C-alpha cells in the first residue's frame, strides 16, 4: 500500500486553492502563467538595461535555462507553483545580468580570495540548521544572508529596503503557500540561506531538482554550480573586511570531492544523527517543497531514491574517512551531543578544524540559546513509517556510518 498522499496530510490555504483553480477557469495553467526562456531573457535585458550578461565562468547557463523551462512546461505545476517558478527564474536572470555588469565595472571582484570557508553539512534534521545559526554568531565568520545573496547587486534606483522587501516576497511566500512549512524550515530575508539558494542563477544546481518533481531533460552541472557559487561570494565580499565564509547545505554530502576541488582549504563540519530520524525528515521536507508547486508528489518514489542516495553517501563518507582517502579537514557534531551541550559540541568541532571558540562567541551562543523560542512555528513530528521507512532496516543499511561516527539509536 502506498504512502498517504500529500493532499490528505495538508490542507491548502483557501487563497492557494482559489488561485490554482484559476488555471481551470482559463483553460490551463500555462495560459495564465506562461514560461518561455527567450521571453524571460529579453525581459532581463530590458528591465536591467544591460545588453548581455558577462561570462561568469559557469558555462552554458542559457542552455540549462532552456532545458529547465522545457521541463517545467512538461510537468504538472499548478498556478501558484508556476508563478513561484517564473518569479525565481526572472529574478535569477536579473541577478546574472546585474552581477556580470558589476564585475565588468569592477574587475577586481574576480580577484577576491574565498579563503578556507567553514562548511556545515549532514542529513536533514541532524542539527545542521541550529549549528549553522550558532556558528554564525562567530565574529570571525560571515554567513550568506538571504537579502545579500539573492540580490548581491542592488538594481539601479532600488534601496536596501527594496532589496529586503524583494527577498521577503520570495523567501517568506513559501510558508504562506503552506503554513506547515515554517515548522520544517524557517525562511526570512534577514536569515542566512543554504548554498543551493544562492546558486540558483547558475541554473545548474540542486535548487531546481529539489523544487521540481520532473525537470525533464535538464541535468545538474556541479562544476558550473560551484563556479557561480564563488562568483556570488566574491561579489558580496568585495570591499568588506576580511572574514571566512560559513556555508551550509545537506547536499554537500554527495559532492565533497567537488566541493574540495573548488575550495581546497575548506573545513567541513559534518552533523550526525540516527538515520531513522533523519531519512524520513529528508523525504518530508522534499515532499513539502514540491507540494508548494504541484498536486502530484510521488512519495513512494521519493522515499526510495532519497533512502538509496543518502545511505550510499553517508556510508561512503564513513568508509573513506576510516581509510583516510577522503580529502579535507573535518569536524564532527553528533546531534545528541549538540542538544546536550551545544557549546561543548562546537568546541570539539572547532578543535578538529584548528579553530578556537572565543569568549565573545561563547557568550553569544549562551544569549542566543536563552532567547531562542522553542517550537515558534509548531513542531514537525513524524515517524520513519510515516514516510516509507523501517527504522531497524535503515540502521542496518547504514551500519558503517553509524559505527564509524558512533551515532546513538534514539529509540533507546
- Looking at the structure of the chain, the number of domains it has is 1
CA dist 141 and 360 (Å) reads 13
223 with 268: CB under 8 angstroms?
no
> Which pLDDT score, from 0 to 100, does residue 99 have?
97
Give me the pLDDT at residue 412, please: 60
CATH classification at residue 59:
3.40.50.300
Within-domain flag for 130:
yes
Please report, rounded to a whole number, the percentage of residues in the chain having pLDDT higher than 90: 91
Residue 349 belongs to some domain of the structure? yes
pLDDT one-digit tens code per residue, 330-345: 999 999 999 999 999 9
Q: Is 324 left (phi over 0), alpha (psi -120 to 50) or beta?
A: left
What is the model's pLDDT at position 374? 59
Cβ contact 81:292 at 8 Å: yes
Mean pLDDT, rounded, of the chain: 94
Classify residue 411: in a domain, yes or no. Answer: no
Q: What is the reported pLDDT for 322? A: 97
The 3 state secondary structure assigned to the chain is CCCCCHHHHCCCCHHHHHHHHHHHHCCCHHHHCCCCHHHHHHHHHHHHCCCCCCCCCCCCHHHHHHHHHHHHHCCCECHHHHHHHHHHHHHHHHHHHHHHHHHHHCHHHHHCCCCCCEEEECCCCCCHHHHHHHHCCCCCEECCEHHHHHCCCCCCCCCHHHHHHHHHHHHCHHHHHCCCHHHHCCCCCCCECCHHHHCHHHCCCHHHHHHCCCCCCCCCCHHHHHHHHHHHHHHHHCCCCCCEEEEECHHHHHCHHHHHHHCCCCEEEEEECCHHHHHHHHHHHHHHHHHCCECCCCHHHHHHHHHHHHHHHHHHHHHHHHHCCCCCEEEEEEHHHHHHCHHHHHHHHHHHHCCCCCHHHHHHHHHHHHHCCCCCCCCCCCCCHHHCCCHHHHHHHCHHHHHHHCCCCCCC
- For the segment 113-122, the average pLDDT, to the nearest whole number, is 98
Residue 302 is assigned to a structural domain of this protein: yes
What pLDDT shows up at residue 52?
A: 86
Residue 410 lies in a domain: no
- CA gap 386, 10 in Å, rounded: 14
pLDDT score at 376: 56
Taking only the tens place, the pLDDT of each residue in 7-25 is: 999 999 999 999 999 999 9
Main-chain dihedrals φ then ψ at residue 39, nearest 5 degrees: -65, -40
Please say if the pLDDT value at position 379 is more than 80: no
Mean pLDDT of 246-271: 97
Has this prediction a pTM greater than 0.85?
A: yes
CA distance 223 to 225: 5
The CA-to-CA distance between both ends of the chain, in Å, stands at 29
Residues spanned by the domain of 69: 6-405
Residues 135-187: pLDDT tens digits? 999 999 999 999 999 999 998 888 999 999 999 999 999 999 999 999 888 89
**Looking at residue 411, what is its pLDDT?**
85
Does residue 87 belong to any structural domain of this protein?
A: yes
**Inside any domain, residue 307:** yes
Residue 87: pLDDT band with limits 50, 70, 90: very high
16 assigned to some structural domain: yes
Compute the distance between CA of residue 99 and CA of residue 374 in angstroms, rounded to an integer. Answer: 38
Contacts of 382 (CB under 8 A, 6+ apart): 280, 281, 284
- The 10s digit of each residue's pLDDT in 189-206 is 999 999 999 999 999 999
Among the listed residues 158, 45, 61, the one whose alpha carbon sits nearest the alpha carbon of residue 97: 45
**Residue 375: pLDDT over 90:** no
26, pLDDT greater than 60: yes
Amino acid at each position: 500500500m502506498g504512502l498517504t498522499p500529500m493532499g490528505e496530510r495538508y490542507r491548502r490555504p483557501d487563497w492557494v486553492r482559489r488561485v490554482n483553480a484559476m488555471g481551470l477557469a482559463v483553460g490551463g495553467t500555462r495560459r495564465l502563467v506562461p514560461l518561455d526562456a527567450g521571453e524571460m531573457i529579453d525581459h532581463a535585458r530590458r528591465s536591467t538595461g544591460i545588453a548581455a550578461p558577462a561570462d561568469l565562468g559557469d558555462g552554458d547557463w542559457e542552455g540549462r535555462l532552456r532545458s529547465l523551462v522545457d521541463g517545467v512546461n512538461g510537468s504538472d505545476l499548478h498556478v501558484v507553483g508556476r508563478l513561484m517558478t517564473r518569479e525565481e527564474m526572472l529574478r535569477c536572470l536579473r541577478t546574472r545580468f546585474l552581477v556580470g555588469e558589476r564585475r565588468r565595472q569592477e574587475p577586481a571582484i574576480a580577484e577576491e580570495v574565498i579563503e578556507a570557508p567553514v562548511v556545515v553539512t549532514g542529513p536533514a534534521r541532524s542539527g545542521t540548521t541550529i549549528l549553522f545559526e550558532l556558528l554564525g554568531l562567530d565574529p570571525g565568520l560571515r554567513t550568506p544572508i538571504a537579502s545579500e545573496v539573492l540580490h548581491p547587486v542592488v538594481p539601479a534606483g532600488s534601496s536596501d529596503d527594496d532589496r529586503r522587501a524583494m527577498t521577503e516576497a520570495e523567501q517568506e511566500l513559501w510558508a504562506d503557500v503552506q503554513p506547515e512549512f515554517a515548522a520544517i524550515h524557517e525562511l526570512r530575508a534577514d536569515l542566512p540561506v543554504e548554498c543551493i539558494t544562492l546558486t540558483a542563477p547558475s541554473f545548474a544546481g540542486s535548487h531546481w531538482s529539489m523544487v521540481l518533481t520532473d525537470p525533464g531533460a535538464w541535468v545538474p552541472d556541479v562544476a558550473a554550480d560551484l563556479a557561480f557559487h564563488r562568483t556570488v561570494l566574491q561579489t558580496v565580499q568585495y570591499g568588506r573586511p576580511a572574514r571566512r565564509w560559513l556555508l551550509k547545505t545537506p547536499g554537500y554530502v554527495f559532492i565533497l570531492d567537488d566541493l574540495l576541488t573548488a575550495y581546497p582549504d575548506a573545513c567541513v563540519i559534518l552533523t550526525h544523527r540516527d538515520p531513522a530520524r533523519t531519512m524520513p525528515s529528508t523525504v518530508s521536507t522534499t515532499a513539502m517543497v514540491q507540494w508548494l508547486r504541484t498536486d502530484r508528489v510521488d512519495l513512494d518514489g521519493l522515499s526510495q531514491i532519497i533512502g538509496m542516495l543518502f545511505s550510499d553517501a553517508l556510508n561512503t563518507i564513513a568508509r573513506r574517512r576510516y581509510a583516510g582517502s577522503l580529502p579535507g579537514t573535518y569536524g564532527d557534531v553528533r546531534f545528541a551531543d549538540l542538544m546536550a551541550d551545544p557549546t561543548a559540541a562546537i568546541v570539539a568541532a572547532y578543535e578538529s578544524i584548528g579553530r578556537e571558540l572565543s569568549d565573545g562567541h561563547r557568550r553569544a551562543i549562551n544569549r542566543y540559546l536563552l532567547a531562542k523560542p522553542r517550537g515558534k512555528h509548531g513542531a514537525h513530528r513524524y515517524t520513519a513509517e510515516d514516510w516509507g521507512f523501517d527504522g531497524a532496516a535503515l540502521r542496518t543499511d547504514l551500519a558503517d556510518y553509524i559505527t564509524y561516527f558512533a551515532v546513538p539509536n534514539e529509540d533507546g
